[in-house]
Structure 1
Amino acid sequence: MDRQTLQNLSRLGTKASLALAVAGALAMPLGAQAGSFQLPTDNAAGWARANAGGSLFANDPTAVYNNPAAMAFFNGPVIQVTGTGIRPSAKFEGEFKDMQGNPTTGNNPNGFGKFIPFPNMAFAAPVSDNVTLGGSITVPYGLVSEYNPTWQGRYFGTKTSLQSIAVSFSAGFKINDEFSIGVGVLGQRTKAQLNSMIDAAGAASKLSGFPFVPQSADVQLNVNVKKKFAFGYFAGMEWKPTAQDSIGFSYHSKVKQTLTGTYNLYGSATGISLLGLAPLFGGPTLDPAGGSASAKLDTPAFASLDWLHVVNDRFSIAATAKWTNWSSFENLELKSGGESIVNLPQAYKDSWLYAIGGDYKVNDQWTLRAGVGYDQTPSNIISRDPRIPDGARRLLGLGVGYQASKNFAFDLGYQHQFVGKTRVHLTNPDLLGAGTMDGTFDDHGDVVSLTGTYRF
């Protein structure tokens, strides 16, 4: 390794440390963030293209996590920090009833509606003509939904907050001028908070058969769980069959994780006492003082096939097909002391995202971007609820890039997600009161993303 390369790596290390600090600061407002709850690990340009093309565009630092093979064609060190805000909206139309068929009291607010920020950061540097190394901090999974504890659907969830932060290291190897491969490892930290109101009187009536009055003794169940680190791997390849075309394929493994923590009960003393009787009628044991809690939450494997075609010096077009193995997410079970407290079937199905988009270079400073896409939902009427009222999304992206100097570039991306109405029909487990919900969620979402890039 020559002296100039060592100097470049030293400067890169200094700027990488600064970018890590910025990314950490951006992550702080999240607390625990997370939609279903997989997030594209893109920069502003990627959001503007509706996530088309993956990381095949020249010197795109998101390749460090998305497809490390693309790093092998970088022509110099690069560092990038992205701040993205997502604002979903979900308004329910329909009815909630308790276990006796009476309407549930309360109002019906939008449980989302606020921009939630999250960061992505990556740096990469060629260490020889054929090898490039990189590292990244990404948020591949996240969700925040929060409703007033007095809303009509409180027995189906009041607050859900989930965030996975992945730290990855990867390497790209250029086999020749047309073909490269890449591999990487990641450590993923996940934490989640799930709050629900329990219709304790309804639960007691359902479990025991005695005529308790539903909705008369509400108890709030708060669950806080986390996993410090779980590990996975990823790999990719890139092939340049012509001077204008690039084809990439990448695969990310499932990350197996069991989240552990505590649960607590708050609210009506009568309701807590009624829940204490549950074991007498075949129900689980809930300690009024709270107790340990655990839940298995494996994040799924996914794979992406990407294509980029450079039409000329000004115009490029790209496409992506991405598969996610959501069928591995069969149920969400909360346990305490080895005993199942609540078991919610999910029955997710595998999903696909399809997108096409591109860049138009107006001049040496300005680039315009746009894209459209279709993102299938893995959820269904069995599992869809107020926590994740997910539906298939039609994506429209727009954006602009500005080359401020030889080294600095900024990108702004916007994406609107058209979802429309999704059907919901659920009956709660007996322990949560056995109430029902029936209706539709009218959903949409907005994404705004800003990226700063420094090339050495």
Structure 2
Amino acid sequence: MNFPLPRSKSGSGATARIAIAAAIAAALALPTLAQASSFQLPVGTAASLGRAGAGGSLYDDDPTAAYSNPAALAFISGTVHETTFQGLRPSAKFNGSFTDYAGNPISGSNPNGFGRPKFMGNGASAFKINDHLVLGTSFNVPYALSSNYNSSWQGRYFGTRTAIRNYQLTLSAGIKVNDEFSMGVGVVGSYTRATIGTTIDAGSTASLLGLPLKPQSADVDLNVNAKRSISVGYVVGFEFKPTDQDRIGASYHSRIQNRLSGDYTLGGSATGLALLSLAMPGVSLNGHGSAKLDLPATANFDYLHIFSPRWTLGASAQWTGWSSFKSLALSSNNVTLVTLPENFKDAWMYSIGGDYRFTDRWTLHAGIAYDESPSINATRDPRLPDGTRKIVAVGFGYQATRKLKLDLGYQHQFVNDVRVSQQNQALLGAGIMDGYYEDSGDVVSLTATYHF
């Protein structure tokens, strides 16, 4: 049964437009949030995963240097290709309460929206041209997020389904200046796709606007499909070998500027849709919007020490310049509709780990890491309840033939409990989410490396 809807009051069309704009902007913000540390994926081989990323690409004949530090390509002995498959299983369980603006508990269940495993792959190749020049290419998914809360969960007004992937193709070159020093440079092409859903409490919105509807009585589902055509960045780096046993490397990935565009659709309650149509005369409930999306700059610092032909130990530090992400603005037809604050902070990841070669065929990989979160309590979101992580990693390598090597790596991520305390904007229903998330994650990786 539909509730009777009075004629819209003066200004209600504008405020409803802002409400929808805010909802779409909140959805389109998620591809940026997905780059946060909890879902900033490892892009190296399974061996690197097993070392917790320590030492970066300074190990012998690692073609993923094409992405991480192209200077390391210069010391590769020949043409090498690797293919990696990854399986990820994050977990995020919310503990707390959801209430509407009137203080009533929001109906529904409270599932784990991150429990389903996801799979992806990447690859890299290095081609030795001569003793001073090696070319490389890599294709990977450095950032991804997938959460799927059912439409009846208690936090549906803060987000339901999110599926985001960022693909990057890198073409690079490593130049060996001499036996101790090399430089590298690469061009990075980036492409992002996202499917995002949320629910609008049109009943609360109507009640706040003076219309005779009750909270949670007229839910409207918002779905956004967003993408970005190719954007371009760069990577530069160097490697220095002060002794035969020591290697030092550093690299810098530029910020990549994007404008993410999306088409949105609204469906669900006929009453809620009627309300939005009434409040927005002449405005389609299906439309288009865009948001500026800048992937942050990163810098890596790596060190490797070779104790013996059987034992190596590495250490790394990675900085991500999240402080450049202050807000997200949604526009349509070159008009800014709404601006949302984010106020992220810069984040660091530190790792130490290495290899121990038991025999000519078998190698043990192991490492630990500490990975800071850039998010803050004021803007943390249930789509990405990101917290600082402590990582334990282990893996094994097997030299199957003279040319073929297989590696298996595993990480468990202990994520700090994080506070999520938010209130939706009044025009989105003003619902309140208050509690904390218990997070963890597992990553398994398998790599085949072939020397031609």
Do they fold alike, i.e. is TM over 0.5?
yes
Q: Kindly tell me: are residues 277 and 378 of structure 1, through their superposed partners in 2, closer, same or farther at Cα, counting changes over 3 Å?
A: farther
- Structure 2 counterpart SS, 1:297: strand
Residues 78 and 455, structure 1, Cα contact 8 Å, conserved in 2: yes
Deviates more, 1:235-244 or 1:266-275: 266-275
CA offset digits 1:334-384 (Å, max 9, x no partner): 433345556443211110000000000001000001000100000111111
Question: Match for residue 239 of structure 1?
Answer: 240
CA distance in 2, matches of 1:286, 1:383: 30
Give 2:372's aligned amino acid. Answer: Q
1:357 equivalent in alignment to 2:353: yes
CA distance in 2, matches of 1:435, 1:300: 31
1:215 equivalent in alignment to 2:212: no
CA distance in 1, matches of 2:61, 2:443: 24
Residues 230 and 255, structure 1, Cα contact 8 Å, conserved in 2: yes
Structure 2 residue corresponding to 1:77, chosen from 73, 76, 79: 79
Structure 2 residue corresponding to 1:377, chosen from 360, 368, 373: 373
Structure 1 residue corresponding to 2:123, chosen from 121, 131, 144: 121
- Structure 1 counterpart SS, 2:101: coil
Structure 2 residue corresponding to 1:88, chosen from 90, 110, 135: 90
Deviates more, 1:175-184 or 1:344-353: 344-353
Q: Kindly tell me: are residues 337 and 217 of structure 1, through their superposed partners in 2, closer, same or farther at Cα, counting changes over 3 Å?
A: farther
1:345 equivalent in alignment to 2:347: no
Shift of 1:212: 2.6
Question: Match for residue 272 of structure 1?
Answer: 273
Residues 342 and 431, structure 1, Cα contact 8 Å, conserved in 2: no
Residues 34 and 384, structure 2, Cα contact 8 Å, conserved in 1: no
CA distance in 2, matches of 1:76, 1:199: 60
CA distance in 2, matches of 1:34, 1:114: 17
Deviates more, 1:234-243 or 1:420-429: 420-429
Q: Which runs of 5+ in 2 are unaligned?
A: 1-32
Q: Kindly tell me: are residues 151 and 438 of structure 1, through their superposed partners in 2, closer, same or farther at Cα, counting changes over 3 Å?
A: same
CA distance in 2, matches of 1:399, 1:263: 43
Residues 366 and 400, structure 1, Cα contact 8 Å, conserved in 2: yes
Question: Match for residue 382 of structure 2?
Answer: 386
Shift of 1:34: 6.2
CA distance in 2, matches of 1:286, 1:166: 37
Question: Match for residue 27 of structure 2?
Answer: none
Give 1:315's aligned amino acid. Answer: W
- Structure 1 counterpart SS, 2:72: helix
Question: Match for residue 324 of structure 2?
Answer: 328
Shift of 1:331: 2.6
Give 1:287's aligned amino acid. Answer: S
Considering Cα pairs closer than 8 Å and 6+ residues apart, tell me whether 1 or 2 has the greater RCO. 2
Question: Match for residue 158 of structure 2?
Answer: 156
Shift of 1:437: 0.3
Question: Match for residue 58 of structure 1?
Answer: 60
Question: Match for residue 262 of structure 1?
Answer: 263
Q: Kindly tell me: are residues 41 and 137 of structure 1, through their superposed partners in 2, closer, same or farther at Cα, counting changes over 3 Å?
A: same
Question: Match for residue 368 of structure 1?
Answer: 364
Give 1:262's aligned amino acid. Answer: D
Give 1:110's aligned amino acid. Answer: N
Question: Match for residue 147 of structure 1?
Answer: 149
- Structure 2 counterpart SS, 1:298: strand
CA distance in 1, matches of 2:328, 2:152: 25
CA distance in 2, matches of 1:195, 1:53: 39
Question: Match for residue 450 of structure 2?
Answer: 454
CA distance in 2, matches of 1:331, 1:62: 33
CA offset digits 1:99-148 (Å, max 9, x no partner): 11111100000001121112110001110110000111011111111100
Q: Kindly tell me: are residues 57 and 139 of structure 1, through their superposed partners in 2, closer, same or farther at Cα, counting changes over 3 Å?
A: same
- Structure 2 counterpart SS, 1:76: coil
RMSD of the TM alignment (CA)?
Answer: 1.6
Q: Kindly tell me: are residues 340 and 437 of structure 1, through their superposed partners in 2, closer, same or farther at Cα, counting changes over 3 Å?
A: farther
1:295 equivalent in alignment to 2:297: no
* Identical pairs, percent: 53
Q: Paired residues, what number?
A: 418
Give 1:192's aligned amino acid. Answer: A
CA distance in 2, matches of 1:103, 1:332: 30
